[in-house]
C-alpha cells in the first residue's frame, strides 16, 4: 500500500521571486549586474539607468556607474557587466576607450556575461561605440549575452528618440531573465 503525501516543493519554488533564487540556486544571492557608462551630455546616462531599471525588475541586483567611478578590482563581484557610451567620430569616446584599456589589465573577467550599448545618430553611416565596446568585451573572453543595442539621439545634445528609454528597460528585463534561464538549464559560466 502506498501513502501519497503531497509535498509542494515545485509549486512553492515557482512562487519564490527570482531575486531569492539567484543564478546559483535557491536561497543563494541574486545575480549582480553592473551597468557602466560614459556620457558627455547625459543621454547615455539615461539609457544606462533604464537598462539597470529593467535588470532590477528581473530580480538582478543592478547598479549603474560612470566609467570614472569604477573600481576595476571590484568587477569580479558581478555576473553581468554592461558597458555603454556615446558614439563620437564613428566610434567610442576617449574616456570609454581609456576605460576599456584598463580592463585589459583586469583579472577575472573571462566567462562573465557582457553587453554593449551606445547612443548615436540614426544614420547607417553614423558608426557605433557599441560595436567597438562589444568587440573588446569578446576579446576579454566575456560571454556576449545579447547583441549590442543603440539608442538614437535626434541631435548631438539629444533628446533621445521617443521610446528609447522604454526599449532599454525592456532589454534589461530580458537580459535579467536570460541569466536565470541559464541557471535553470544548468549552464554555468565561471570567471
Ligand atoms: C564630438 C562629437 C562627435 C560625434 N560624432 C558622432 C558620430 O560620429 N556618430 C554619431 O552617431 N553621433 C556622433 N555624435 C553624437 C553623439 O553620439 C551624441 O551626442 C551622444 O549620443 C550623446 O550622448 P551623451 O549625451 O551621453 O554624451 C557626436 C557628438 C559629439 C559631441
d(CA 135, CA 123): 21
- pLDDT tens column, 97-132: 999 999 999 999 999 999 999 999 999 999 999 999
- pLDDT tens column, 3-45: 443 333 323 333 334 444 444 445 467 899 999 999 999 999 9
Residue located nearest, by CA, to atom 18 of ligand 1: 156
The CA 100 to ligand 1 mean position distance, Å, reads 18
Which residue segments constitute the domains of the chain, with CATH numbers given? Answer: 27-177 (3.40.50.360)
Q: Which of 183, 178, 163, 174 is nearest to 53 (CA)?
A: 174
Q: Which of 43, 45, 104 is nearest to 69 (CA)?
A: 45
Query: What is Dmax (Cα atoms) for the chain?
Result: 77
Enter the C-alpha cell of residue 149: 543595442
Amino acid at each position: 500500500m502506498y501513502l501519497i503525501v503531497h509535498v509542494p516543493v515545485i509549486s512553492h519554488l515557482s512562487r519564490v521571486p527570482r531575486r531569492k533564487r539567484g543564478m546559483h540556486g535557491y536561497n543563494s544571492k541574486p545575480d549582480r549586474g553592473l551597468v557602466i557608462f560614459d556620457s558627455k551630455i547625459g543621454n547615455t546616462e539615461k539609457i544606462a539607468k533604464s537598462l539597470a531599471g529593467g535588470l532590477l525588475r528581473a530580480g538582478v541586483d543592478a547598479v549603474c556607474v560612470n566609467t570614472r567611478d569604477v573600481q576595476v578590482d571590484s568587477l569580479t563581484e558581478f555576473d553581468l557587466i554592461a558597458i555603454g557610451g556615446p558614439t563620437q567620430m564613428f566610434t567610442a569616446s576617449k574616456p570609454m576607450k581609456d576605460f576599456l584599456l584598463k580592463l585589459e589589465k583586469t583579472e577575472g573577467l573571462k566567462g562573465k556575461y557582457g553587453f554593449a550599448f551606445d547612443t548615436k545618430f540614426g544614420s547607417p553611416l553614423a558608426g557605433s561605440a557599441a560595436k567597438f565596446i562589444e568587440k573588446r568585451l569578446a576579446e576579454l573572453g566575456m560571454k556576449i549575452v545579447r547583441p549590442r543595442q543603440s539608442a538614437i539621439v535626434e541631435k548631438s545634445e539629444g533628446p533621445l528618440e521617443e521610446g528609447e528609454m522604454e526599449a532599454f528597460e525592456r532589454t534589461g528585463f530580458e537580459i535579467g531573465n536570460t541569466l536565470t534561464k541559464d541557471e535553470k538549464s544548468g549552464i554555468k559560466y565561471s570567471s
